[in-house]
Amino acid sequence: MTSRTLDELLADGVRGRHVLVRSDLNVPLDGSTVTDDGRVRASIPVLSKLADAGARVIVMAHLGRPKGAPDPKYSISPAADRLRELADFPVAAAEDVVGESARTLSAGLKDGEVLVLENVRFDARETSKDDAERAAFAAELKALTGDAGAYVDDAFGAVHRRHASVVEIAALLPAYQGDLVRTEVEVLRTLTEAPKRPYVVVLGGSKVSDKLTVIDKLLGRADQLLIGGGMAFTFLKAQGHAVGGSLLEEDQLETVRGYLSRAKEIGCDIILPTDIVVASKFGADAEHEVLAADNLEGGRFGSTGLGLDIGPASAEAFASYIRSANTVFWNGPMGVFEIDAFAGGTRAVAGALAESEAFSVVGGGDSAAAVRTLGFRDDDFGHISTGGGASLEYLEGKELPGLTALEGK
Angle (CA) 345 350 355, round 5°: 125
Cβ neighbours for 193, distance < 8 A, ≥ 6 positions apart: none
pLDDT range class, residue 364, cuts 50, 70, 90? low
Residue 207 C-beta-side C-alpha neighbours within 13 Å? 8
Q: Is pLDDT above 90 for 408? A: no
- Give me the amino acid identity at 224: Q
Q: How confident is the model at residue 370 (pLDDT cuts 50, 70, 90)?
A: confident
Binding annotation: 24-26, 39, 62-65, 121, 161, 211, 307, 338, 364-367
385 band by pLDDT with thresholds 50, 70 and 90? confident
**What is the torsional sign of CA 349, 352, 355, 357?**
negative
pLDDT confidence tier of residue 1, bands split at 50, 70 and 90: low
Using alpha carbons only, give the angle 63, 284, 334 rounded to the nearest 5 degrees: 65
Measure the CA–CA gap between 203 and 228, rounded to whole angstroms. Answer: 6
Catalytic residue, chosen from 68, 217, 389, 398, is 389
**What integer pLDDT is reported at residue 209 of this predicted model?**
87
Strands of 186-303, DSSP E: 199-203, 224-227, 269-271, 275-279, 288-292
Phi and psi for 20 in degrees, rounded to 5? Answer: -90, 120
Nearest by Cα to 336 from 304, 308, 306: 308
Instruction: Say what the pLDDT of residue 363 is.
Output: 83
Q: What is the DSSP letter of 148?
A: S
Residues of the binding site for substrate: 24-26, 39, 62-65, 121, 161
Band of pLDDT at residue 369, cut at 50, 70 and 90: confident
* Whether residue 311 lies in the annotated active site: no
Percentage of residues of the chain with pLDDT beyond 90: 84
Extract the annotated binding site for ATP: 211, 307, 338, 364-367
Q: Is 207 a catalytic residue?
A: yes
Q: Determine which one of 332, 365, 387, 402 is catalytic.
A: 365
**CB contact at 8 A, 8 and 176:** yes
HSE-CB at 129 with a 13 A cutoff on CA atoms is 0
Say what the pLDDT of residue 387 is.
81
Is 245 noted as a catalytic residue in this protein? no
- For residues 294 and 272, the answer to whether their CB atoms sit within 8 Å is no
Q: Is 142 a catalytic residue?
A: no
Q: What is the pLDDT of residue 89?
A: 97
Whether 322 contacts 354, CB under 8 Å = no
8 Å CB contact between 168 and 128: no
Alpha-carbon span 188 to 159, nearest angstrom: 14
Q: Which of 84, 103, 162, 207 is catalytic?
A: 207
CA distance 70 to 226: 42
Cβ contact 180:43 at 8 Å = yes
Local structure of 72: helix, strand or coil: helix
Q: From the candidates 4, 39, 56, 237, which is the catalytic residue?
A: 39
Residues 53, 107: Cα–Cα separation, whole Å: 18
Q: For the ranges 49-63, 192-206, 271-285, which has the lowest average pLDDT?
A: 192-206
The residues, ordered by sequence, that sit 6+ positions from 162 with a Cβ below 8 Å of its Cβ are 134, 401
Query: Which pLDDT belongs to residue 173?
Result: 97
8 Å CB contact between 219 and 244: no
- Mean pLDDT of the residues in the chain: 95
**CA-to-CA dists, residue 200 to 149, 238, 270, 309, 369, angstroms:** 44, 22, 10, 20, 21
Once rounded to an integer, what is the mean pLDDT over residues 233-248? 96
The DSSP result for 227-245, as a single string, is: E-STTHHHHHHHTT---TT
**Pair 362, 333: CB distance under 8 Å:** no
pLDDT value of position 112: 98
CB 202 within 8 A of CB 229: no
